Amino acid sequence: MKLKNIKQTKLNTALKVALLSSSLGLASFANAISFNKGDFIASWDTTVSYGIGIRAQKRDNDLVGKANLNPFVGALDLQGRIDAPGRWSINSDNGNLNYDQWDKISNAIKYTTEFGFSYKSFGGFFRGTSFYDFTNDGKEGLSDTAKEFVGHRTRLLDAYVYKDFDIGSHAASVRLGRQVVSWGESTFIQQGINVINPIDVSKIR
């Protein structure tokens, strides 16, 4: 009976998370323009999206530094410091301290545009993105460096030209400029050579 209650609780929690995620899902608008004139082909794609994230759970004290929970923990004896709630380090709990339960952790609008063209065996590709987070850009407690990553940011992601050609009976291509290079096919194997270009977790927003 106890096991059944535990499973039911987990199921209810999963359903709540799913409903919350669907209600706060990312809204987006995309527009594409294509041009084709003989051997010249070009396309311009633009996506504007908006998303909001809310902290649904209370702060877990086990993830907060002991000194942040109790500024006088240093005055306790050794056993008292060991028994005090929280973790020893205070250097990795800012994310927990900056947002309370039901606080908005993100409220961002994002703009991404890309342009590509090709003429016979020659072509180019350019892509940029920009976002502004209404919650984090003016949030107190965040450094200017942090706001550059979670408050507002504009980046040029790709800007390169390429040339396709043949070497004997083999096809070859050369690209010059700013680009993403995938080293191998294994994207999800840890410690592989693809960590040279690590996944940008902040782009999940």
201 pLDDT above the threshold of 90: no
User: How does pLDDT run across 53-112, given as a tens digit for each residue?
Assistant: 999 999 888 889 999 889 999 899 999 999 999 989 888 888 788 889 999 999 999 999
16 pLDDT above the threshold of 90: no
CA separation for the pair 58, 49 (Å, rounded) = 28
184 pLDDT above the threshold of 80: no
Q: Is the pTM of this model over 0.85?
A: no
Q: Give the phi and the psi of residue 164 in degrees, each rounded to 5.
A: -95, 140
Identify each DSSP E strand in 16-138 by its residue range.
27-37, 40-54, 104-119, 122-133
Higher pLDDT, 71 or 11: 71
For 189-193, what is the mean pLDDT?
A: 62
Cβ atoms of 148 and 154 closer than 8 Å: no
